Amino acid sequence: MAELRDLYQEVILEHSKRPRNYRTLAGTSLSAEGYNPLCGDHFVIYVDVEDGRIRDISFQGSGCAISKASASMMTQAVKGKPTADAEKLFMDFHRVVTGKNNVGVDDLGKLAAFAGVSEFPVRVKCATLAWHALRAALAGEKQAVSTE
């Protein structure tokens, strides 16, 4: 676990301890479940979209520090944004955490804290789980998203 310590940057730890937007969202029909059987991370993302913009977003569930912090920081990052911007942010985030390249890392803001995840392939699924669930919710998919 020693090498994982480097990965758990302060901002990630802080969000995992005090997740933001950690609640259900009443009155929205858009939600999706994400499950990462490898780690046991399991979250539901709730989204309220109005005129193509994410008016509100929340999540509930449980998982490791990385998955929970990622969900928490994702909700902060996309709240109030057009869904197209959220999609672009996901693409940039995904490229950075999978170590493909760092194009877009400057636009990630605090989410750049997850760049270290690319060195731990198993953890990439933890970091991207909430994002996959968000996409499914926005697409209106009812089936649970699994990383397997």
The residue ranges that bind Zn ion (CB under 5 A) are: 39, 41, 64, 67, 126
Pairing of strands 41-50, 145-146: unpaired
CB of 117 to Zn ion, least distance (A): 10
Task: Give the span between the Cα atoms of 26 and 3, in whole angstroms.
Answer: 40
Pairing of strands 145-146, 30-36: parallel
CB of 80 to Zn ion, least distance (A): 27
Rank residues 45 and 126 by Cβ distance to Zn ion and give the closer one.
126
Rank residues 15 and 54 by Cβ distance to Zn ion and give the closer one.
15
Task: Give the span between the Cα atoms of 84 and 94, in whole angstroms.
Answer: 15
Rank residues 49 and 126 by Cβ distance to Zn ion and give the closer one.
126
Rank residues 54 and 126 by Cβ distance to Zn ion and give the closer one.
126
Please state, as a whole number, how many other Cβ atoms lie within 10 Å of the Cβ of residue 94.
16
CB of 85 to Zn ion, least distance (A): 26
